[in-house]
């Protein structure tokens, strides 16, 4: 595992998605406009075509109109939104001219769609087989005994083992990844010419995402269907797409083949998107965040939509809508830089200035933890009892956290990574005593926190605080920003009088980059990124030493994520904060963290500095996790496919927890849990392979 040094780093393209005989254009979309009834344009003048066997990716941040484009194609737009003008031709058939009854034949038969949340797109009271059978009966005219074998066949095709039994099961008996496979089987049942996949893997873990993406590629290769992939993830685009359309505020602002786009992004927005991706190369310096937010629907259309956030914008950009400009072979862009005289001058100027080599490596990354230890966790256990029967007897335990030891030095960032359900969030909450730990010791700044009463605990509350994942759920909608910020100060008696508090609130808002006037406003008036800033200001109000960040950027767009990461980083430098950074996003971890702990089924399987764990992983699980991350250079590490899914923590496997999915499993792995092996002074692994 010593291939490339970091994620998300641009480099020449070597491998590519499978090239298959690509034929005629299957789908032609011409000047499609979709409006709200009040006239706001949600999808504004979009044109693209997809060839047979080709994957076209629509890339963009949330609120850009990607999903609305897909729903316009299916003619499934919600009430109050309609296609105002344009042409949609599927195999020479005008979709917009079809009557509704003919459209029903098209949906599922010619064009199928899979959605983001597999848990919500299957009917919970019908068996999986019945749901697939419905499609078969409608679109394949199969009857009676023919149906069931075909269902089983389809389920086998999407890689579901024991398919005949699974066909008679209900959705709740399947895991998330399996549900998405079933959705794909359902979509394939009608032999569609075009499959629309709307963020098909966003709700899944990286390892499952890799499985599902591979399945989509294989299916496409077998059937030669066209695939319209909607995603916000550049990594997924790099793995899947042949053609890419970048959407911004309802328009396609750049369209190119994947190779062209990744080699030379033309639009300033696309360039910024690449620059905003965190990785280790940039860990010493702030990320190139795009200021501001995606404009709301129905914003004025007089000028270039990106102009307010663009650092290359000049007067013309604020006055005139840019025309579509063709560069070489199929690469198109909507930007004044490429159409006007002034633009080409600016472009040349920029070319001479850019490409300065990035300062290599971040300072401090990889060095041993210095300073005194702030938080010491020994053998932390959180077990939830499973109760059954009338008397609610305890019949077993879900071992969510099973003996975790962590050591966070002052002013450092420690990252906890793992798939969902591995217990990382539970660790965070147990440290804060939001969930009572079953056993173990948590020593914070020399004080034991477990076993003390609420009054004593309150004294130490100020030192350790948490930033939550969802900025929409973490602020009380009925309280003003000032009241939100004041709550912690009141509870922990931080400031003496109300004048001092108000001063502190002003200070905090400035610190997190918000205007002072915003303290009289309510949370719903802010965007996701601004809300996360408020949440950060709220915890800073009590002067903590340690922040537990529970996936603080996973609900945010890439450009906003960069803003928040920059903020966290600068706060660490200014205030000497320590972070426990809980995340599944390895690129973010690599950018921000000093040390990484990898967690699997309630236990730490590997720990060490970022360099050691992410660039020379020893545990097969870490290796698999790393190889599953889609990279924007389209180049996998040595592919370690992880079969299956994480076992339930109520019945962890005997021996090494990972042996059920491990490719290099040995006999002793099945019997005894491996002890800790020291690879270096900082790098420790629980695996027999490393011990040898």
Report the nearest approach of another protein to the CB of residue 550 (Å): 9
Nearer of residues 523 and 608 to another protein, judged by Cβ: 523
Report the nearest approach of another protein to the CB of residue 555 (Å): 11
Choosing from 492, 495, 616, 689, the residue that interacts with another protein (CB under 8 A) is 492
Choosing from 87, 156, 410, 470, the residue that interacts with another protein (CB under 8 A) is 470
DSSP tag of 149 = H
Nearer of residues 49 and 420 to another protein, judged by Cβ: 420
Q: Which residues contact 536 (CB under 8 A, 6 or more apart)?
A: 467, 512, 564, 567, 568, 571
Nearer of residues 21 and 477 to another protein, judged by Cβ: 477
Q: Is 478 in the site for another protein (CB under 8 A)?
A: yes
- Between CA 36 and CA 80 the distance in angstroms is 6
Q: Is 152 in the site for another protein (CB under 8 A)?
A: no
Q: Is 432 in the site for another protein (CB under 8 A)?
A: yes
Residue indicated by tokens 């010419």: 193
- Between CA 209 and CA 281 the distance in angstroms is 25
- Between CA 18 and CA 564 the distance in angstroms is 36
Q: Classify residue 301 by burial, with Cβ atoms within 10 Å: 0-12, 13-18, 19+.
A: middle
Nearer of residues 99 and 477 to another protein, judged by Cβ: 477
- Between CA 683 and CA 678 the distance in angstroms is 6
Q: Is 466 in the site for another protein (CB under 8 A)?
A: yes
Nearer of residues 123 and 476 to another protein, judged by Cβ: 476
Nearest 10 degrees: Cα torsion 556, 559, 563, 569? 90
CA 165 from centre of chain: 33
Choosing from 180, 438, 465, 627, the residue that interacts with another protein (CB under 8 A) is 465
Q: At 76, phi and psi to the nearest 5?
A: -120, 30
Report the nearest approach of another protein to the CB of residue 488 (Å): 4
Report the nearest approach of another protein to the CB of residue 648 (Å): 21
Q: Is 2 in the site for another protein (CB under 8 A)?
A: no
Q: Which residues contact 424 (CB under 8 A, 6 or more apart)?
A: 416, 417, 418, 582, 599
Q: Is 81 in the site for another protein (CB under 8 A)?
A: no
Report the nearest approach of another protein to the CB of residue 83 (Å): 21
Q: With residue 94 as reference, give the H or E element that holds it.
A: strand 93-94
CA triplet 74, 75, 81: central angle to 5 degrees? 130
Q: Is 479 in the site for another protein (CB under 8 A)?
A: yes
- Between CA 399 and CA 438 the distance in angstroms is 10
Nearer of residues 245 and 552 to another protein, judged by Cβ: 552
Which pair of tokens denotes residue 544? 């903590």
Choosing from 395, 434, 663, 678, the residue that interacts with another protein (CB under 8 A) is 434
Among the candidate windows 463-471, 551-559, 590-598, 630-638, which touches another protein by CB under 8 A? 463-471
Choosing from 212, 542, 587, 640, the residue that interacts with another protein (CB under 8 A) is 542
Choosing from 475, 505, 577, 642, the residue that interacts with another protein (CB under 8 A) is 475
Report the nearest approach of another protein to the CB of residue 434 (Å): 6
Q: Classify residue 637 by burial, with Cβ atoms within 10 Å: 0-12, 13-18, 19+.
A: middle
Q: What counts of helices (H) and strands (E) characterise the chain?
A: 23, 24
Its sign, for the CA torsion 159, 162, 167, 173, is negative
Report the nearest approach of another protein to the CB of residue 40 (Å): 10
Choosing from 29, 240, 535, 596, the residue that interacts with another protein (CB under 8 A) is 535
Under 8 Å between Cβ of 644 and 593:
no
Report the nearest approach of another protein to the CB of residue 520 (Å): 10
Among the candidate windows 21-29, 215-223, 475-483, 621-629, which touches another protein by CB under 8 A? 475-483
Nearer of residues 326 and 436 to another protein, judged by Cβ: 436
Among the candidate windows 301-309, 414-422, 452-460, 627-635, which touches another protein by CB under 8 A? 452-460
Q: Is 626 in the site for another protein (CB under 8 A)?
A: no
* Residues in 3-62 at the binding interface with another protein, rule: CB under 8 A: none
Choosing from 243, 255, 469, 660, the residue that interacts with another protein (CB under 8 A) is 469
Report the nearest approach of another protein to the CB of residue 545 (Å): 14
Q: Is 454 in the site for another protein (CB under 8 A)?
A: yes
Q: At 164, phi and psi to the nearest 5?
A: -65, -30
- Between CA 154 and CA 577 the distance in angstroms is 53
Q: Which residues contact 97 (CB under 8 A, 6 or more apart)?
A: none
Among the candidate windows 130-138, 464-472, 626-634, 640-648, which touches another protein by CB under 8 A? 464-472
Its sign, for the CA torsion 647, 648, 651, 655, is positive
- Between CA 313 and CA 291 the distance in angstroms is 13
Among the candidate windows 241-249, 347-355, 453-461, 600-608, which touches another protein by CB under 8 A? 453-461
3-state SS assignment for residue 194: strand
Report the nearest approach of another protein to the CB of residue 371 (Å): 25
Q: Is 486 in the site for another protein (CB under 8 A)?
A: no
Which pair of tokens denotes residue 433? 């005593």
Report the nearest approach of another protein to the CB of residue 634 (Å): 36
Radius of gyration over every alpha carbon of the chain, rounded to an integer in angstroms: 26
Per the DSSP assignment, residues forming a β-bridge with 600 are: 603
* Residues in 512-531 at the binding interface with another protein, rule: CB under 8 A: 522
Nearest 10 degrees: Cα torsion 198, 204, 206, 210? -60
Under 8 Å between Cβ of 194 and 132:
no
Report the nearest approach of another protein to the CB of residue 116 (Å): 20
Under 8 Å between Cβ of 630 and 233:
yes
Other beta carbons less than 10 A from residue 458's beta carbon: 13
Q: How many binding residues for another protein (CB under 8 A)? A: 29
Nearer of residues 551 and 606 to another protein, judged by Cβ: 551
Choosing from 242, 429, 501, 584, the residue that interacts with another protein (CB under 8 A) is 429
- Between CA 428 and CA 420 the distance in angstroms is 14
Q: Is 143 in the site for another protein (CB under 8 A)?
A: no
Task: Give the strands of the sheet with 93-94, arranged side by side.
Answer: 41-51, 25-36, 81-90, 93-94
Report the nearest approach of another protein to the CB of residue 400 (Å): 16
Choosing from 137, 445, 457, 616, the residue that interacts with another protein (CB under 8 A) is 457
Which pair of tokens denotes residue 635? 């180049």
Report the nearest approach of another protein to the CB of residue 376 (Å): 20
CA end-to-end span of the chain: 17
Among the candidate windows 125-133, 252-260, 458-466, 668-676, which touches another protein by CB under 8 A? 458-466
Q: Is 260 in the site for another protein (CB under 8 A)?
A: no
Nearer of residues 57 and 416 to another protein, judged by Cβ: 416
Enumerate binding residues for another protein (CB under 8 A).
429, 432, 434, 454, 457-458, 461, 465-466, 468-470, 473-479, 487-488, 490-492, 522, 535, 538-539, 542
């Amino acid at each position: 595992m010593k291939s490339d040094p970091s994620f998300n780093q641009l480099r020449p393209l070597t491998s590519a998605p499978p090239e298959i005989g690509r034929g005629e254009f299957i789908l032609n979309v011409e000047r499609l406009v979709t409006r709200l009834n009040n006239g706001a344009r949600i999808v504004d003048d979009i044109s693209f075509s997809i060839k047979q066997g080709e994957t076209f990716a629509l890339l963009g941040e949330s609120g850009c109109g990607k999903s609305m484009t897909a729903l316009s194609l299916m003619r499934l737009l919600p009430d109050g939104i309609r296609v105002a003008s344009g042409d949609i031709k599927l195999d020479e058939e005008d979709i917009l001219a079809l009557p509704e009854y003919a459209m029903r034949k098209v949906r599922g038969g010619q064009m199928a769609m899979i959605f983001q949340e597999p848990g919500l797109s299957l009917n919970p009271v019908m068996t999986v087989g019945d749901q697939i059978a419905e499609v078969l009966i409608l679109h394949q005219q199969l009857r009676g005994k023919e149906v069931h074998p075909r269902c089983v066949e389809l389920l086998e095709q999407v890689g579901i083992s024991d398919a005949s039994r699974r066909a008679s099961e209900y959705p709740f008996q399947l895991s998330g990844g399996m549900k998405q496979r079933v959705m794909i089987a359902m979509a394939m049942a009608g032999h569609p010419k075009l499959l629309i996949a709307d963020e098909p893997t966003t709700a899944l873990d990286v390892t499952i995402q890799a499985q599902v993406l591979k399945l989509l590629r294989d299916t496409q290769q077998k059937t030669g269907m066209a695939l319209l992939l909607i995603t916000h993830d550049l990594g997924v685009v790099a793995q899947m797409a042949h053609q890419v359309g970048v959407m911004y505020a309802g328009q396609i602002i750049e369209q190119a083949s994947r190779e062209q786009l990744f080699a030379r992004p033309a639009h300033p927005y696309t360039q910024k998107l690449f620059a905003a991706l965190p990785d280790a190369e940039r860990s010493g310096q702030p990320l190139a965040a795009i200021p501001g937010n995606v404009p709301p629907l129905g914003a004025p259309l007089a000028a270039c939509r990106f102009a307010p956030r663009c650092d290359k914008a000049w007067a013309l950009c604020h006055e005139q809508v840019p025309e579509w400009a063709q560069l070489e072979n199929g690469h198109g862009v909507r930007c004044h830089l490429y159409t006007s005289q002034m633009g080409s001058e600016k472009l040349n100027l920029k070319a001479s200035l850019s490409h300065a080599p990035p300062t290599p490596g971040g300072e401090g990354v990889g060095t041993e933890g210095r300073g005194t230890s702030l938080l010491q966790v020994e053998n932390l256990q959180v077990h939830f009892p499973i109760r059954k029967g009338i008397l609610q007897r305890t019949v077993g335990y879900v071992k969510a956290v099973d003996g975790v030891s962590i050591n966070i030095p002052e002013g450092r960032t420690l990252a906890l990574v793992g798939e969902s359900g591995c217990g990382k969030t539970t660790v965070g909450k147990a440290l804060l005593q939001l969930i009572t730990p079953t056993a173990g010791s948590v020593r914070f700044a020399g004080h034991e926190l477990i076993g003390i009463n609420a009054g004593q605990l309150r004294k130490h509350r100020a030192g350790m605080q948490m930033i939550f994942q969802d900025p929409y759920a973490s602020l009380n909608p009925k309280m003003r920003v000032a009241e939100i910020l004041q709550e912690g100060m009141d509870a922990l008696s931080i400031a003496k009088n109300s004048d001092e508090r108000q001063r502190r609130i002003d200070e905090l808002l400035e610190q997190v980059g918000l205007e002072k006037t915003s303290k009289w406003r309510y949370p719903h008036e802010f965007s996701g990124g601004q809300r996360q800033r408020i949440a950060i200001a709220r915890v800073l109000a009590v002067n903590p030493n340690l922040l537990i960040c529970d996936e603080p950027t996973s609900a945010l767009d890439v450009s906003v994520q960069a803003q928040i990461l920059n903020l966290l980083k600068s706060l660490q430098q200014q205030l000497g904060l320590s972070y426990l950074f809980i995340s599944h996003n390895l690129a973010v971890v690599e950018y921000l963290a000093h040390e990484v702990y990898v967690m699997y089924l309630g236990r730490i399987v590997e720990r060490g500095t970022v360099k050691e764990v992410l660039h020379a992983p020893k545990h097969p699980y870490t290796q698999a996790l790393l190889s599953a991350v889609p990279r924007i250079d389209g180049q996998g590490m040595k592919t370690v496919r992880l079969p299956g899914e994480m076992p339930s923590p109520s019945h962890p496997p005997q021996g090494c927890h990972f042996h059920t999915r491990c490719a290099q499993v040995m006999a002793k792995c099945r019997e005894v849990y491996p002890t800790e092996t020291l690879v270096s002074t900082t790098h420790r692994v629980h695996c027999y392979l490393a011990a040898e």
